[in-house]
A and B are shown apart, each in its own frame.
Chain A
């Protein structure tokens, strides 16, 4: 049976993948939206929208560090992003 062509990996995975590879897997290693935007080369408002969706899915967690909102992967986020590589 022929199905639809294989879809691209959703763009929010670029954010998830970046957070994993760079080590943002705990509150003290969290990254801000601006940092994630720079690393992924995705504009900040889009990164913010992706992070909102990922938060709703329980894949990232938001923490407040010295007045800056930062994000890190949750356990579910790590497990989800690693499906890209196995």
Chain B
């Protein structure tokens, strides 16, 4: 049972709706919502997160002032889209229940998966709706199957119903405005943020590397992401033999999991350098931070990337970043100044960039310093929360 919440003056009451929130982590949305919610609460606002249940996580909890409601679907259905509609129904019911206790000022939904609940609640509560479009179905996988057309339609509906849309990069703004035929002033760019303090801990790099089988003389090239085609990991794997010719001390660790993993392991087996490549699967956050800080570089070989928060994490962790010249990555990885950009879908280019970083340690150190400055100056959650509040207030009139 949750007690009624007293109103605290000018501070806002935000209903945030997302299908993933820690510990339920699929991609970058969970971390985005958590970072934004924390920063909003730190600035004196109230945040109520409505999300799905997850084994071991309570139905309701407060974390550092963030109120988290995890809703269990009382019924499921084998069909994916029907399941989505069902969990939206239960989330909307929970929001309606809570609205008797809390007079929300704004409804903020992240991606299409929880849009039906949010749109329903917008009309029920008569509160403004903000929609953060983290990516589009069109960009993620094209529109090759009927489900994709339905998802594309739901995304369009979300942009139609939202009072304002937030995207995390200029590249996404172009994609969203172009694909959904939206007016330029309906879409606001507010980038992803990062909790740089998370990367300030001291790590025994030698011990971490040893735990992952990396010898002191070897070079650790790290890649982190969902194992899905748009992350472009197979292009990195095809770069392994080229890198190995120039850099026999190179070792590769791929962190993450996904439906594409079997195929990627098959590709790794064909390189002739399988022994250099480790697939870890999912690892805990604390271990990922330690591993990132212990790496010699982070490679982000994506072929589609609306923002690319993993590159920002590498920059915050103080490792040189090599990233594809696609999407949002090009907006904060400045070639040869804060990282190295490569041609997309191009193993030769990736191999060149890896060699470039390893061959020029002084220059790599300079890029790391520049990258850290950029992260601290522009991508703190505090700054991003302030920009988000400004948009909330705008749509509240």
Q: Which residues of chain A have a CB within 8 Å of any CB of chain B?
A: 1, 3, 6-7, 9-10, 13, 17-18, 20-26, 39-40, 57-58, 74-76, 78-86
Contact = CB atoms under 8 A, between A and B. Distances in A.
A76 B226 contact: no
Given A25-B55, A26-B55, A75-B56, A18 B259 contact: no
A85 B258 CA distance: 10
Interface stretch (B97-105, B164-172, B228-236): B228-236
B238 interface: yes
A83 B347 contact: no
A10 B73 CA distance: 26
Contacts of B229: 6
B186 interface: no
Contacts of A26: 55
A65 B79 CA distance: 26
B55 A78 contact: yes
A23 B24 contact: no
A11 B346 CA distance: 30
Interface string B118-145: 0000000000000000010000100000
Interface residues of B, number: 41
A11 to B, nearest CB: 11
B54 to A, nearest CB: 7
Contact of B346 (A1, A24, A58): A1
B56 A3 contact: no
Interface in B231-247: 234-235, 238
A3 B238 contact: yes
Contacts of A21: 76-80, 82-83
A84 B257 contact: no
A83 B77 contact: no
A24 B23 CA distance: 18
Interface string B208-227: 00000000000000000011
Interface in B181-230: 226-229
B25 interface: yes
A23 B73 contact: yes
A79 B76 CA distance: 18
B75 A23 contact: yes
B373 interface: no
Given A1-B347, A10-B262, A78-B55, A86 B26 contact: yes
B113 interface: yes
B153 interface: no
A79 B228 contact: no
Nearest to A84: B259
B174 interface: no
Given A23-B75, A76-B257, A86-B26, 11 more contacts: A1-B346, A7-B262, A9-B259, A18-B78, A21-B82, A25-B53, A81-B259, A83-B27, A85-B113, A86-B20, A86-B135
B345 interface: yes
B160 interface: no
A82 B20 contact: yes
Nearest to B82: A21
Contacts of A78: 24, 54-55
